């Protein structure tokens, strides 16, 4: 496992998990000094100069998030440009969608495989999702793709899951009545 892979697919999901559980504040998603300190124990040699992090927010309070001050409301996108890919699979970009009201974190990556093809993936602490192959794209195109396609599909996926649960419950209740 490469150093970048560990950062992109293991460490960042662990930060997300700890933020979601309230163990770490939101600004841990952008706190490079925390990352360096925690990753020292794993002897990771990340090219920190090549890693960039941005926060996209529509309310204009991203600085509060970065500093961990103020009341956090709304929806934010934490955008990572990762160090240059050295081996596959590694990611070129990562995007975390954070909905403060729902405490919802979604992490997407734009990654390459062993053949050099590009894929859009999703990552949790213990699961990797593949949303299919895609042509190479810029960071801005990837963020737009996530906002316009993946986030919306998650809403539909939730609606479908709830609908299936309702149908199953209905069928079970009919069977119990008979």
Q: Show me where the domains of the chain are located.
A: 3-151
Those residues of the chain that have pLDDT short of 70 are 1, 57-73, 151-164, 178
Half-sphere exposure of 135 (CA within 13 A, CB side): 2
**Which pLDDT value is given to residue 172?**
80
Smallest CA-to-CA distance from 99 within 78, 80, 79, 82 is with: 78
pTM score: 0.77
Q: Are 118 and 85 in contact (CB under 8 A)?
A: no
| pLDDT digits 0-9 by tens, 120-140 | 998 888 888 888 899 999 999
CA angle 8–12–16, rounded 5-degree value: 150
**Which pLDDT value is given to residue 111?**
93
**Which pLDDT value is given to residue 151?**
67
**Which pLDDT value is given to residue 153?**
47
């Amino acid at each position: 496992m490469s150093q970048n892979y560990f950062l992109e697919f293991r460490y960042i999901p662990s930060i997300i998990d700890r933020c979601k559980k309230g163990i770490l504040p939101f600004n841990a998603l952008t706190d490079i000094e925390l990352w360096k300190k925690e990753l020292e124990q794993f002897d990771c040699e990340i090219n920190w100069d090549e890693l960039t992090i941005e926060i996209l927010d529509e309310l204009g309070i991203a600085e509060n998030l970065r500093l961990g001050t103020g009341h956090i409301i709304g929806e934010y996108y934490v955008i990572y440009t990762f160090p240059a890919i050295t081996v596959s699979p590694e990611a070129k970009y990562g995007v975390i969608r954070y909905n403060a009201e729902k405490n919802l974190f979604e992490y997407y990556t734009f990654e390459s495989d062993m053949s050099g093809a590009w894929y859009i993936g999703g990552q949790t602490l213990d699961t990797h999702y593949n949303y299919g192959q895609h042509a190479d794209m810029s960071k801005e195109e990837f963020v737009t793709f996530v906002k316009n396609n993946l986030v919306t599909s998650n809403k539909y996926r939730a609606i479908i899951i709830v609908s299936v649960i309702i149908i199953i419950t209905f069928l079970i209740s009919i069977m119990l009545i008979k």
